Amino acid sequence: MTEQTNETAATDVAKPARKPHGWREVLAALREPRVLVTLLLGFSSGLPFMLVGNTLGFWLREQGIELAAIGFLSWVGIAYSLKFLWAPIIDRVDLPLLGRLGRRRGWMVLTQIVVGIGLFGMAAVGPGGHLWTFALLAVITAFAAASQDTVVDAWRIERAESPDDLGLLTAAFQFGYRIAILATDAWILVAAAKLGWPTSYLLCAAAMGIGLTATLFAIEPARTPAAASGVAAAPLWTPRGFFDAVVGPFVTFFQTHGPMALLMLCTVALYRLPDFLMGPMAAPLYTDLGLAKEMIGAVRTSFGLVATFVGIALAGLSAVKLGFEKTLVLGAVLGPGSNLAFSAMALAGPNMPVFIGAMIVDNISTGFAGAALVAYMSSLTSLGYTATQYALLSSTYAMLGKFLKGFSGAVVEGLEKSFPLMTSYAIFFAGTAAVGIPVVILSIVLSHHQSKAKAAQASA
Type of residue at 119: L
* pLDDT score, position 233: 58
pLDDT of residue 137: 95
Instruction: Answer for the pair 331, 373: CB distance below 8 angstroms, yes or no.
Output: yes
- What is the Cα–Cα distance from 223 to 226, expressed in whole angstroms? 9
**What CA–CA distance (Å, rounded) separates 346 from 285?**
7
CB 274, CB 2: distance < 8 Å: no
Supply angle C-alpha 284, 367, 430, rounded to 5. Answer: 45
What's the pTM value of the predicted model, to 2 decimals?
0.73
**pLDDT at residue number 261:** 82
Residue 383 contacts residue 396 (beta carbons within 8 Å): no
pLDDT score recorded for residue 289 = 92
Q: Give the per-residue pLDDT at 25.
A: 62
Counting other chains too, the contacts that 37-40 makes at CB distance below 8 Å and 24 or more residues apart are 37/214, 37/217, 37/218, 38/156, 38/159, 38/169, 38/172, 38/173, 38/176, 39/172, 39/173, 39/175, 39/176, 40/176, 40/210, 40/211, 40/213, 40/214
pLDDT of 392: 67
Contact 329, 271 (CB under 8 A): no
- Residue ranges in the chain whose pLDDT is less than 50: 4-6, 8-20, 224-231, 382-387
Q: Give per-residue pLDDT as tens, 267-298.
A: 888 998 998 899 889 889 998 998 888 888 88
Q: In b/e form, how buried is each residue of 141-152, taking b as 16+ CB within 10 angstroms?
A: bbbbbbbbbbbb
